[in-house]
Chains A and B, each alone.
Chain A
Amino acid sequence: MTKKIDLEESFLYDRHVLEYIHRASEHGLYDIRGLGAKRRVPNFDDLVFLTASASRYPLEGYREKCLTRTVLGTRRAKKPITLDIPITIAGMSFGSLSANVKEAIGRAASDVGTSTTTGDGGMTREERASSKTLVYQCLPSRYGFNPQDLRQADAIEMVIGQGAKPGGGGMLLGLKVSPRVAQMRTLPEGIDQRSACRHPDWTGPDDLTIKINELREITDWQIPIYVKLGATRVRDDVKLAVKAGADVVVVDGMQGGTAATQQVFIEHAGIPTLPAVRQAVEALDEMDVLGEVQLVVSGGIRTGADVAKALALGADAVSLGQAVLMALGCNSPSYFDGQQSVDVSDEYAKLGTGPGYCHHCQTGLCPVGVTTQIPELETRLQPEWGARRLKNYLQTLTMELTTLARACGKSNVHHLEREDLVALTVEAAAMAKLPLAGTDWIPGDAPIRES
């Protein structure tokens, strides 16, 4: 007779772990993939709003004004960035994405009055032409980085880390290093490109101060300088970024995406966005620069509710990456050829996956033409169509954001506050330092009793 334990799956060595060990034993190489963490971590879904009732009064959801205007870079730049909404587009490289996608993103961002950001690989003419407000990243690789493009930018983002791989450099496998990508990055075509994790010309926060001043000098102190951090030691890192002179600090939590990196990095490095926002706000508060240095939060922002919660926790704006790609069709079973939807489930299957599960950005074989450099795949995403989809998505997020803000009685989304939120789980309560719903208890916040 078969005993139950004979068919009991091990908790420690479940089917996922067994498959991992068997695969590692077969190939001797770690997995590289795209997008972000797949495991569940405490996130904004673990928070809810205490919208108005008898003790607070709401604003009329469809008639009364709720402002979304957002200004970034007020600390030292002569020309801060003014956006119509507090939802920005994160840095994603030409190379990981096609030129059509970069153009679609630029058009949509311009239509809704927000900014988009370059990435590892430099600024393409398509994205500069299509983006009203473009943030130019200064990355460790410095691929395609040059003073002409620097002076065309509306802001500069000094990238120290990325939520999906804090402490790691970029990666672009050979299939995506096309002639144009290779030329822009000064690399041989088709190589498996691994970019640097440290900047080539400065090390440490004291040097960063001088580097930021160099960029300000070159741009004549006109445009804001952001510093982007992968969320690890957030409190210390935010303070060092502020001390180094950042106008804006961008904190990217571990749910943030990537075009390609080691899976072990994606799932096991960095802290979730939820505690990262709280620590970043505390750091700014402790340095007495709240309101002077703006905070942008990214890493797993998907919905208008996520945006509202990030703002209530103290962020000035959020930044979206993966969700933008999904709005453009990432993980959709079909693409639109201009007249009709074309099913590509079989192409997902060839990658060993299916729509809804795909994370194979690293291959460059994106069935819907988003993360590719192959011309016939790239044409599957036409800029006009993509821009329309992304504009719709960003509009939806904004409507959801203002809906929640009005329900909390706020006439400006930036008036959302911590007091408007409670947590649904003990973990989220502890990480966000919010009371557990229905209680006054904030885990870890109670005074230590003397025995």
Chain B
Amino acid sequence: MESIALASVDLQELSVRQLNHYLHHEIGSKSLSRIEILNPNGLHNIAVGMDAPAQVDVRGHAGYFLGGMNRQARIVVHGNVGWSVAENMMSGEVRVKGFASQCAGASAHGGLLFIEGSASSRCGISLKGGDIVVGGHVGHMSAFMAQAGHLVVCGDAGAGLGDSLYEAVIYIRGKIHSLGADAREEPMAESDYATVGQLLSRAELEWSPREFKRVASARTLYHWNVDADQEY
């Protein structure tokens, strides 16, 4: 493959494969700290599998799996993203200036995903230690089966919030359409306010942590329960 020497990559001229090869193998050796991606035009799998402390600016809208399995990199999307942005992220940061489609931050183990707009359904599904901050609303079944980490929602949440939660914690400022199975509202402790404050600060949002509610697992589904309602 021909080496790409520029820190600006135009996806009208190069393929996603060439871009990702460059991001995986060449930015380290070139000690680049900033890469700009032009004309993403909704393409899928942009900047997946990165493992370098670089900043990537995506100038436009991206498709599925943007920043998937990211480690170390800081990726900023100056537009909207499709499904499963930053899925399985391990560390680093993905920031979406616009809106995100379904399953944002799915199964993320670490790092920070910040969506300035709203996120669709199943935001933070299966979360495993990552942190997600959503400036707007989240769709139904958000944080479904989330295991660890935090989901901070500055707006409202759709139906079934926090269904089958494990140890992940949701902080929400707006209305909750309904809670999912085994999820419950709990009082905020000082440590919760501190966590929310820290995450809002990292996302550069100015809401007061005192406006947020805490949703966590009631832990009634952790063990088999003969008397559990099968409809949950």
**Contacts from A to B (Cβ < 8 Å):** 27-29, 141-142, 145-147, 150, 173-174, 185-188, 191-192, 196, 200-202, 207, 210-211, 213-214, 217-221
Contact = CB atoms under 8 A, between A and B. Distances in A.
A248 B166 CA distance: 35
Contacts of A214: 44-45, 48, 64-65, 68
B128 A142 contact: yes
Contacts of B114: none
A217 B147 contact: no
A28 B225 CA distance: 10
Contacts of B84: 200-202
A264 to B, nearest CB: 13
19 contacts: A29-B224, A145-B107, A146-B88, A147-B69, A186-B129, A188-B222, A196-B145, A200-B84, A200-B103, A201-B88, A207-B64, A207-B83, A210-B44, A211-B64, A211-B65, A214-B44, A214-B48, A219-B49, A220-B25
A26 to B, nearest CB: 10
A220 B69 contact: no
A223 to B, nearest CB: 13
Contacts of B17: 217, 221
B125 A200 contact: yes
Interface string B2-37: 000000000000001100110011000000000000
Q: Interface centre among A173, A191, A196, A218, by most B CB within 10 Å?
A: A218
Given A28-B227, A201-B65, 7 more contacts: A142-B126, A142-B128, A174-B223, A186-B129, A191-B223, A214-B65, A218-B68
B49 A217 contact: yes
B21 A220 contact: yes
A200 B48 contact: no
A229 to B, nearest CB: 21
Interface string B36-60: 0000000011001101000000000
A191 B125 contact: no
Q: Interface centre among A142, A145, A217, A219, by most B CB within 10 Å?
A: A217
B232 to A, nearest CB: 12
B145 to A, nearest CB: 6
A191 B69 CA distance: 27
B88 A147 contact: yes
A91 B51 CA distance: 28
Nearest to B125: A200
A209 B98 CA distance: 25
A32 to B, nearest CB: 8
Contacts of A150: 69
A106 to B, nearest CB: 25
Closest 8 CB pairs of A and B: A218-B49, A201-B84, A200-B126, A201-B106, A200-B106, A147-B69, A142-B107, A201-B87
Contacts of B51: 147
Contacts of B25: 220
Given A147-B90, A217-B20, A187 B147 contact: yes
Interface string B142-158: 00110110000000000
Given A200-B107, A214-B45, A29 B226 contact: yes
Interface residues of A, dominant DSSP:
loop
Interface in B106-149: 106-107, 109, 122, 125-126, 128-129, 144-145, 147-148
Contact of B83 (A29, A187, A201, A220): A201
A213 B107 contact: no
B192 interface: no
Given A201-B84, A201-B106, A220-B21, A141 B69 contact: no
Interface residues of B, dominant DSSP:
loop
Nearest to B66: A214
B71 interface: yes
Interface residues of B, number: 42
A336 to B, nearest CB: 35
Contacts of B226: 27-29
Nearest to A151: B49
Interface in B157-180: 166-167
A218 B48 contact: yes
A442 to B, nearest CB: 44
Q: Interface centre among B20, B148, B226, B227, by most A CB within 10 Å?
A: B20
Nearest to B126: A200
Contacts of A213: 44-45
A174 B221 CA distance: 12
A27 B167 CA distance: 29
A196 B227 CA distance: 22
Nearest to B68: A214
Contact of B166 (A173, A187, A200, A221): A187
Contacts of A217: 16-17, 20, 45, 48-49
A195 to B, nearest CB: 8
A186 B49 CA distance: 21
Given A186-B128, A200-B103, A142 B224 contact: no
Nearest to A185: B147
B90 A201 contact: no
Contacts of A191: 166, 222-223
Contacts of B49: 147, 217-219
A213 B43 CA distance: 12
A186 B125 contact: no
A192 B128 contact: no
Contacts of B88: 142, 145-147, 201
